Amino acid sequence: MSNYIPDYDPSGIAEINGNLLGLPYDYNTANLIIFAVPWEVTVSYGAGTANAPQRILDASYQIDLFDFDHPDGWKQGIYLVEISQDILDKNNYYRQQAAKIIARQSEGKALTNTPDLTPILTEINQAGAQVNQWLFSQCQQAMNLGKKVAVIGGDHSSPLGYFQALANQYPDFGILHIDAHADLRDAYEGFEFSHASIMFNALKIPQISKLVQVGLRDICIDEVEIINNSNNRVFAYYDSAIKQQQYAGKTWIDLCQEIVGNLPENVHISFDVDGLDPKLCPNTGTPVPGGLELEQVYCLFREVVKSGRKIIGFDVNEVGDAEWDGNVGARIVYKLANLLDLSQK
């Protein structure tokens, strides 16, 4: 669906208008609504991803609109809903509270020691549930108007409410998950909605029939067991195994087609930028050496579209609080928006 705006010059200078890429759309005229979730309460290593939505917005004004995969992709109408200051303020407060819990655990001491930190943990888990509920209702509302929805996180816990909204719309869908980490930990560090638990929580949603993970290279024993015992509900493509196959002469295109073959017809893309080589997003929360090139990941996404599958949504998370990371993050968001639209054609 094209929302043609007659006096808009897509080759002109972007107007800094509060919308992604300076596009001239609002909530009513856009077909793709993007929600920002500036939340990173449970991050245990590098902080700053709560500022990612703003970084991505700021960087997006510098991006040219011509896209080689879908030159008219911008015409679908893309709108970034204003970043919630209330969520950002709550994030900053609860982040400090969570730091106390993480510090206590790293000393090997019980949360029940004096001062007892269990009430703080309960409060943080409730705050996480509230953010999920807020996102769920926002996504549900937009989808009920026939719009497509996407999410720009803070940390990778951000899209859970969105997954639940998608599950109300689609009886069966898969997640294509780009990440250095499997995120299959059960309430990591006691946080029910930890960034390290997003896919563990996603698997509680029965409509998510497949989870296909690509680029994993930092994983715990319990997570490997979950993958191995999932009855092919979860497929893991470990970074080292991908590279080993490529060194032996297997082409990336062949590997992409194999990866995509595991996905059902409807596909959500969940993109944690630490799945990439860290030179691309060096300020992400938990960088790991190795990883994928950006064009390599785009190639995989193109194979999803070429296979006739539909991209029904996407989330982009863990973009660092720095200009370069914002630049890369903004390009990823725009590419995914265009491929989503292309796959619907």
Domain boundaries, the chain: 20-343
Q: Is the pLDDT of residue 313 over 70?
A: yes
Q: E strands of 160-304, at which residues?
A: 173-178, 208-216, 234-238, 266-272
Four-way CATH pick for 20-343: 3.40.630.30, 3.40.800.10, 3.40.50.150, 3.30.1330.10:
3.40.800.10
pLDDT in tens, 28-72: 999 999 999 999 999 877 789 999 999 999 999 999 999 999 999
Tokens of 169: 């719309």
In degrees rounded to 5, what are phi and psi of residue 192? -60, -35
What is the sign, positive or negative, of the torsion defined by CA atoms of 263, 266, 270, 271? Answer: positive
The closest alpha carbon to 281, from 218, 339, 330, 336, belongs to 330
The three-class DSSP label of residue 94 is helix
Annotated binding site for Mn(2+): 156, 179, 181, 183, 272, 274
- pTM, entire model: 0.97
What is the predicted pLDDT for the residue at 269?
99
CB 143 within 8 A of CB 169: yes
What is the sign, positive or negative, of the torsion defined by CA atoms of 15, 17, 19, 23? Answer: negative
Q: Please report which confidence band the pLDDT of residue 2 belongs to, taking 50, 70 and 90 as the band edges.
A: low
In degrees rounded to 5, what are phi and psi of residue 162? -65, -45
pLDDT in tens, 22-38: 999 999 999 999 999 99
DSSP-derived secondary structure letter, 276: B
Q: Please report which confidence band the pLDDT of residue 286 belongs to, taking 50, 70 and 90 as the band edges.
A: very high
Q: Please report which confidence band the pLDDT of residue 4 belongs to, taking 50, 70 and 90 as the band edges.
A: low
The closest alpha carbon to 83, from 55, 103, 120, belongs to 55
Annotated binding site: 156, 179, 181, 183, 272, 274
